[in-house]
Structure 1
Amino acid sequence: MIIDTHTHVVSSDRNAHPLHPDASGWSLEVSNNVADLIKEMDSAGVECATLVQPNGTYGLDNSYQCDSALQYAPRTVAVGILDPAASDAADQLSYWTNERGMWGVRLQSQAEPDDPRCDALWDRAESLGVPISIGGGGTADRVDRMRNIGGRHPNVLFAPDHFAGWSGSQDKPGMTTALEELARLPNAHLRYSSTSLGPYAGLTDDEKDLFRRVIEAFSPRRMMWGTNFPSSREGGFIGQVQLGQTALPWLSAEDLDWMMGGAAATFWPMLQAP
């Protein structure tokens, strides 16, 4: 089963689903209605997807992701955005999970990942059984801070987004070491997307070795692929799926199966193919 763990849906009906006043980036020009995404998934052979609240689109209003995911459940689940350092973050997680069917949360905050204010949300995630995705990254220190809070909450499955920003880092050796340390936590997974796979071909041989070290540290059973569509959209949705299937030719067929869906099925066991 192929599971895309990083799709974004943005309604073309701006009246029914208005963008946040501070919305920015690709979603100002590109929409991706959930019905259109499902058609793309069918054409590309993708059985399931997580609908991830895009940065800079709806703010912390996860309504469109949740409503869209429920419309096509159990083929889809919603991963909304919350600020874990907010005073009401834990209660917000309970609301979006219990009242709106959101079964994943993506943490975005100006606070450091291991800020003690974030622990309340992690505690609530454990009690609700909600896995956590962490935005940001890009430095070894940031990854170390993710490890700190993940270690404080060993019963919460969590995964940094976008290969933890490794591809854009100026210190890839340091990032690699930090991610290898993060991978020592049994509850740590790693999500990777076209933002990492697209630049992979242009890496030096030494950088490709570092990239591979990260995957080997987590093992394919804790690596989860996603397109990042339509933020990443070269070749359309099917082109992004094909990139995921071909960008790392050294993977065995079994390992690729885990990374393209098997690992995500353990992270979100409620997902079921149509």
Structure 2
Amino acid sequence: MPSQIVDIHPHIISTDTSTYPRAPLFGNQSTWSQERPTTPEQLLQAMDDAGVAKAAIVQASTCYGFDNSYVADAVARYPERFTGVFSVDMVAADAAERIHHWVGRKLTGLRLFTSGSTIVGQAPGLADPRSFAAWDCAVGLGLPVVVQMRTQGMPELQVLLQRYPGATIIIDHMFNAPLDAGPPYAAAEPLFRLVDHPNVYLKLTSVIVRNSHKGLATPESFFRRVVSEFGASRIAWGSNFPATPGSMPELLQEARSALAWASAEDQAWIFGGTAEKLYPALRTEVNA
């Protein structure tokens, strides 16, 4: 099992708005992207401070929308440390063409942003039939598809799971499920219903880690169930740096503390092994 630590959910934001103009999805730029811009070099320094070897940079949809240039430029500059996860307008007539374009820029994952800090609830259209051509393209290229969504979107996710049983799908922030009511975590039941879909992976980020400390929830009671049911090889850590306040070492330590009860093997999967399976470009031997 690889020992390197890999982060599959950091973001980068440039202060150069001429070269990289703002174009946030749904028209509102996120507060965090305004307050905490982070260059690739600053991300690398944060990773080095935390002992993180590599990262899959996730497109900041609430800042750049479908223009993935900043992520692609960072990957081109530091291919030994980064890969990238891009976004496209899935219902656009040229969606498949745009997917091929960003894959040609060496980005290796696709992200759908249907909920988040600038959206109230769950945006409709996750399984819009107009998006199927883009899904066909992504699945044909073997791209992992990251979905940021709430549990309200489960009916549409089920449509996609039935139509694309071979797609690799990663759930951002474990739906950002509210956990404060504590065990048995009824609000997270839609998440656990995905156990029977072996092509579905979960992203364990600072968002869900901090949720697991609220109210009657505890990290061990929630994550022990998640790891037990899904298996560590279907779970990967992501910092959400700099969207979540805190330094990279702090965010990594929070996640490590939340999983302190887990075996060394399970932790190796969550903090590196699963990431390398999802994003082969991040494997140690690729850039050795």
Q: Same fold (TM over 0.5)?
A: yes
Q: Is the 8 A contact 2:83 2:107 kept in 1?
A: yes
1:95 CA drift (Å): 1.6
- AA partner of residue 129 (structure 2): P
1:29 CA drift (Å): 2.0
- AA partner of residue 14 (structure 1): T
Partner of 2:23: 20
Q: Is the 8 A contact 1:82 1:108 kept in 2?
A: no
Runs of at least 5 residues in structure 1 that lack an aligned partner in the other structure: none
Count matched residues. Answer: 270
In structure 2, how many angstroms separate the alpha carbons of the residues matched to 1:81 and 1:12? 21
Matches within 5 A, 1:1-274: 1-20=4-23, 22=27, 23-98=29-104, 100-109=105-114, 110-137=123-150, 139=151, 141-167=152-178, 173-204=185-216, 209-234=221-246, 236-273=247-284
Instruction: Say if 1:254 and 1:180 are closer, same or farther in 2 by CA, change over 3 A.
Output: same
Q: Is the 8 A contact 1:143 1:164 kept in 2?
A: no
Q: Is the 8 A contact 1:85 1:111 kept in 2?
A: no
- AA partner of residue 193 (structure 2): E
1:264 CA drift (Å): 0.8
1:203 CA drift (Å): 4.2
- CA deviations on 1:84-119 (whole Å, 9 max, x unpaired) are 233332222112112x22211111254333332222
Q: Is the 8 A contact 2:179 2:188 kept in 1?
A: no
* Identical-pair percentage: 32
Instruction: Say if 1:26 and 1:159 are closer, same or farther in 2 by CA, change over 3 A.
Output: same
1:36 CA drift (Å): 1.2
Runs of at least 5 residues in structure 2 that lack an aligned partner in the other structure: 115-122
Q: Is the 8 A contact 1:2 1:47 kept in 2?
A: yes
Instruction: Say if 1:170 and 1:117 are closer, same or farther in 2 by CA, change over 3 A.
Output: farther
- CA deviations on 1:165-218 (whole Å, 9 max, x unpaired) are 213798984443322221211211011210111232234258964553233222
Let me know the Cα RMSD of the aligned residues. Answer: 2.4
In structure 2, how many angstroms separate the alpha carbons of the residues matched to 1:210 and 1:36? 33
SS of residue matched to 1:82: coil
Q: Is the 8 A contact 2:212 2:222 kept in 1?
A: no
In structure 2, how many angstroms separate the alpha carbons of the residues matched to 1:198 and 1:128? 35
In structure 2, how many angstroms separate the alpha carbons of the residues matched to 1:205 and 1:59? 34
- CA deviations on 1:28-51 (whole Å, 9 max, x unpaired) are 122100011112211211011011
Q: Is the 8 A contact 2:55 2:83 kept in 1?
A: yes
TM superposition score normalised by structure 1 = 0.89
TM superposition score normalised by structure 2 = 0.85
Instruction: Say if 1:178 and 1:144 are closer, same or farther in 2 by CA, change over 3 A.
Output: farther
Once structures 1 and 2 are overlaid, which stretch shifts more, 74-83 or 260-269? Answer: 74-83
Instruction: Say if 1:256 and 1:208 are closer, same or farther in 2 by CA, change over 3 A.
Output: closer
- AA partner of residue 53 (structure 1): Q
